[in-house]
Structure 1
Amino acid sequence: MKALKNIGVLTSGGDSPGMNAAIRAVVRACKFNNVDCIGIYRGYQGLIEGDCIALDARSVKNVINRGGTFLKSARSKDFFSEEGRKKAFNKLQEHHIDALVAIGGDGTFAGASVFYEEHDFPIIGVPGTIDNDIRGTDFTIGYDTALNTVIEAIDKIRDTANSHNRLFLVEVMGRNAGDIALNAGIGAGAEEILIPEQDMGVNRLVESLKRSRKSGKTSSIVVVAEGDKIGKNIFELAEYIEGNFENYEVRVTVLGHIQRGGAPSCYDRVLASRLGIGAVDMLLAGEKNVMIGIQHKKLVSVPFAEAIAGTNEIDLDLLRVADITSI
């Protein structure tokens, strides 16, 4: 492999807190290794259009504490086509970029894998998504911050639930992964947690809530992952529950994109810094077509094919903790 002189960095897909910290780490790792760094705006779409800017150590000052991504992010339909990917490759050559760090989720890595297969271009992926749904890494950038955002919101909702004897259904993000719902539900003391990995069933949920009422609970919080399959949507579920309880008001809160925003937690800033530097180290060592992840506090490389093969399995111990603490 030829010596790398220019490394590009982009963020793609949904934004997550800590992406700026990861960009910062990539840029400063390049500077440390006497390699030029080029930022690419708007992910793969910006790459296709050649929307690039030279970055140095001072370009990324005061960004480690900012949420989102200053390089912007986008989902590119053009990159799905072979013609679009060819344009992207030509732009990389035009800007003399020798390798690429792609920060994002499974869609980002799927595109990177196809691009590598077609053009044999060195790419390292950095997992940045609040969903924590990437196989091969214990945590993704932004997940810890999103959890803390959800916890803070549910703590406030519980004040109102207790004041009015209400049942609140709180929908959290996570797509088809229940990590946010399960961990936030335990941390916030939820009475029930609904996740895609465990089909609780609406009848069992109602029976559980009835037991809670009989035990003396006058209000309840139910955390629902957005990918949960009970009912067509959370509002339909609320109507069903309300029809089975007298004098019990049911309210729905969809936290939505508030979970993606805000300053990254300390954990996410440190994780992003480690992964960003590790990505540059891997490229300089000749690795490509892999994601850098963290397992048992150690950095690891994971082939893209494995990283996008599916979500991590849910922690059964946490399910037991949730069941016991919700009595």
Structure 2
Amino acid sequence: MKRIGVLTSGGDAPGMNAAIRAVVRKAIFHEIEMYGIYYGFQGLIDGTIKKMEVGSVGDIIHRGGTSLYSARSEEFITEAGQQRAMEQLKKHEIDGLVVIGGDGSIKGARALSQRGVPSIGVPATIDNDIAGIDQTIGFDTALNTVIEAIDKIRDTATSHERTYVIEVMGRDAGDLALYAGLAGGAESIIIPEKKHDFADVVMRLKRGHERGKKHSIIILAEGVGEGFQYGRKIQEETTFETRVTVLGHIQRGGSPTAADRVLASRLGAKAVDLLIAGEDGKIVGLKNNELLAQDISDVLSRNHEINEEMYGLSKELSI
């Protein structure tokens, strides 16, 4: 293993830069040349590849986003696109690859692995939707962003005695909504993994109002429905004054928390260790606070599951 390439792909997540830094410096520590691939798999196809030194990743550990930039590539999904990517790897004499991103990015790492390029996936997505892994890079930062917003909105909800629907990210996974809802004291948490019972949401609101509660917070994952439509439906059914806040892409940005910086540093360094050890087609992650390397195909064959105990607790505490 003489040269390693690193790229970030898909949606950005706080902590990606910390992971890039760890990969680059770990490799250079072991006297391996490092190459940064800009703009994800599309940049790999186009040959947007530059050699990286220790100073290339200086002063980025605290920054959100990704210094290698990111782009989605429809071309890479095709046979021709993957062949062009292989040609670029061969041209730059890159022996192994570290791919930082979500499930789509990890699938890209598997595709290159199957073509003979040793590849390791590092899970980075605010959705926290990778099976068999406790937490992905970026989740903790996004969670704290959502909680801060909930706390501020609750001040206004209390002052004006309103019901608020807060729409958070999560098309297919409800971890962000669930954790934020539990930490923020939401009355109802609506996520894709659980069948939505609108009557139960209304009942909880009315029951709270009857005992003198003047405001309520409902957390809605975007994969379940559109926030403004849901807010109108709540107001029509309850007659309670209802407002809606869609947090949107503010959840992706910001300086990563200490937890995300540490996680990213550990996973990035572990990815290099695996390549040095001759491993291939693996994804690194934490399980019960231990670093594990699992087969990418095995991880992708399973669905991420919601924490049932936590979901049940959120129901019990929001009576």
TM-score, with normalisation over the residues of structure 2? 0.98
- Partners in 1 of 2:220 and 2:233 — Cα distance? 15
Q: Which of 220, 240, 244 lines up with 2:237 in the alignment?
A: 244
Give the alignment's Cα RMSD to 1 decimal. 1.0
What is residue 177 of structure 1 aligned with on the other side?
173
| Runs of 4 or more above 3 Å deviation | none
Instruction: Please tell me whether residue 282 in structure 1 is matched to residue 274 in structure 2.
Output: yes
Which amino acid letter does the alignment assign opposite residue 192 of structure 2? P
Larger deviation: 59-68 or 201-210? 201-210
The letter for the 2-side match of 1:198 is K
Are positions 1:111 and 2:104 aligned together? no
Matched, 1:158 2:150: no
- Partner Cα separation in structure 2 for residue 312 and residue 245 of structure 1: 34
Shift, 1:34, TM fit? 0.7
1:138 and 2:134 equivalent?
A: yes
Contact 2:137 2:264 (8 Å CA) reproduced: yes
1:64-213 correspondence runs (5 A): 64-117=61-114, 119-213=115-209
* 1:310 Cα deviation after fit: 4.3
User: Structure 2 CA distance, aligned partners of 1:251 and 1:87?
Assistant: 50
Secondary structure (helix, strand or coil) at the match of 1:270 reads: helix
- Given that 1:132 and 1:174 are in contact with CA atoms closer than 8 Å, whether structure 2 keeps it comes out as no
The alignment's TM-score, normalised by the length of structure 1, stands at 0.95
Measured in 2, the distance between the counterparts of 1:176 and 1:264 equals 23
Q: CA deviation at 1:116?
A: 2.0
Give the % identical residues.
52
One-letter amino acid matched to 2:273: D
Choose the corresponding residue for 1:309, options 292, 296, 301: 301
Does the CA-based 8 Å contact 2:112-2:118 persist in structure 1? no
Shift of 1:175: 1.9
Select which of 21, 45, 49 maps to 1:24: 21
For residues 296 and 110 of structure 2, what CA distance do their matches in structure 1 show?
A: 6
Three-state SS of the structure 1 residue aligned to 2:238 is coil
Distance 1:42 1:215 in 2: 54
Q: Deviations over 1:71-119 (max 9, x none)?
A: 00011011011111100000001111110000001101112212222x2
Alpha-carbon distance in structure 2 between the residues aligned to 1:48 and 1:122: 17
Partner in structure 1 of residue 48 of structure 2: 51
Q: Partner residue of 1:258? A: 250
Q: Which amino acid aligns with 2:236?
A: G
Aligned residues: 319
User: How far apart are the structure 2 equivalents of 1:160 and 1:81?
Assistant: 50
Alignment match, 1:292: 284
List runs of 5+ in structure 1 lacking aligned partners. none
Q: Give the 3-state SS of the residue equivalent to 1:147 in structure 2.
A: helix
Amino acid at match of 1:256: G
